Amino acid sequence: MPLPVLLGCDSITKSFGAAPLFEGLTFALHEGDRVGLVGPNGAGKSTLLSVLAGLRTGYEGRCALEGRDLVSWNRRAMARRVAFIPQQVGMAFPFCAQEVVAMGRAPHGRGLFETTEDRAAVERAMRATDSTAFAGRDFRALSGGEQQRVLLAAALAQEPAVLLLDEPTTYLDLKHQLQTYALLRDLAAQGLTVVAVTHDLNLAAAHAGRVVLLARGQVAADAPPAGVLRPELLREVFEVETEIHEGPGGRPWVVYGC
C-alpha cells in the first residue's frame, strides 16, 4: 500500500510575467523521504521549496500539508510542521548565534520566556550541527559556513516534520558538508522528511534516497539516484556529456565533460 502524502503539490502551474515556470507540476513527499532536488539554473528549484513552505501563492492547482490546503494553515501551526532554510538569510540586528537558534522555537512559544523544553531543543540542535563553540558570538561576525550551521540548528530546534533546505552546504568546508548530509540522513531515518536543493549531482547521488530532476516546468525524473543520473537524461537536461561510474556503496558517480 502506498505511503500517505505528507506534503505535496498536485498539477500546479505558476508563471512569472508571461513565462510559465511550472506547468502542471506534481510532487509528493512522504514521511522519512530524503530527496535531492536538482536541475539547471532557472528550473524553479528554489521557487518550489518556497511554495511547499507556504511562502508563495498565486499558482493554479493544489498544494497540501497532511491533506489540508496550504492556504488554510495558520502560519504558526504550519511552522511547527515545516521548516525552510533559504539560500541566503540577512540578519541586520546583533543577535548571538544561540539567540538565532532560539528563534526556531518561536512556533512553540507559550509566553515571553523560554521553557526547559526550548532550552533543551536549542542545545540539542547546536550540538548536532557542531555550532556550540560559537554560541555567544554575534551571528553577523560568523563566516558563511558558520552561519549556515546556525541556521540549520535553528531549523532543527523548530522540531518540524519536514525540513526544506536550499543549497545547505554552499558555504561549508568538506568536513561540515559530509557532517551535514550524515546528520540529514540520520534524521530521515528517524522519520524527518528532508528535501535539499543542490547543484552537486554527486552529493545528491551519495546521500539522497530519491533524486528529483526539474526541467522545463516539469518533474523530468523522480527515482532513486541510479534511475535519474543517466547520461542520456543528463545530456538532455544539462546539455553536458557525462559518464556514470560506480561510487561508494554502489551508488552512481557522475564524471563530467566526457
Proportion of the chain above pLDDT 70, given as a percent: 97
Q: For 58-104, what is each residue's pLDDT tens digit? A: 999 999 999 999 999 999 999 999 999 988 777 767 899 999 999 99
Which are the contacts of 70, defined by CB distance < 8 A and separation ≥ 6? 54, 63, 64, 78
Res 254: pLDDT: 95
CA-CA distance, 188 to 31, in Å (whole number)? 8
Q: For 84-94, what is each residue's pLDDT tens digit? A: 998 877 776 78
Q: Which of 9-23, 24-38, 47-61, 214-228 has the lowest mean pLDDT?
A: 9-23
Tally of CB atoms within 10 A around 224: 14
Which of the following CATH numbers is that of domain 1-81+160-258: 1.10.645.10, 3.40.50.970, 3.90.1150.10, 3.40.50.300? 3.40.50.300
Which residues lie across from 256 on neighbouring strands?
Answer: 242
Res 110: pLDDT: 72
Domain locations in the chain as residue ranges: 1-81+160-258, 87-159
Of 39, 254, 55, the residue nearest 167 (C-alpha): 39
Of 254, 177, 191, 229, the residue nearest 38 (C-alpha): 229
Query: Where is pLDDT greater, at 161 or 169?
Result: 161
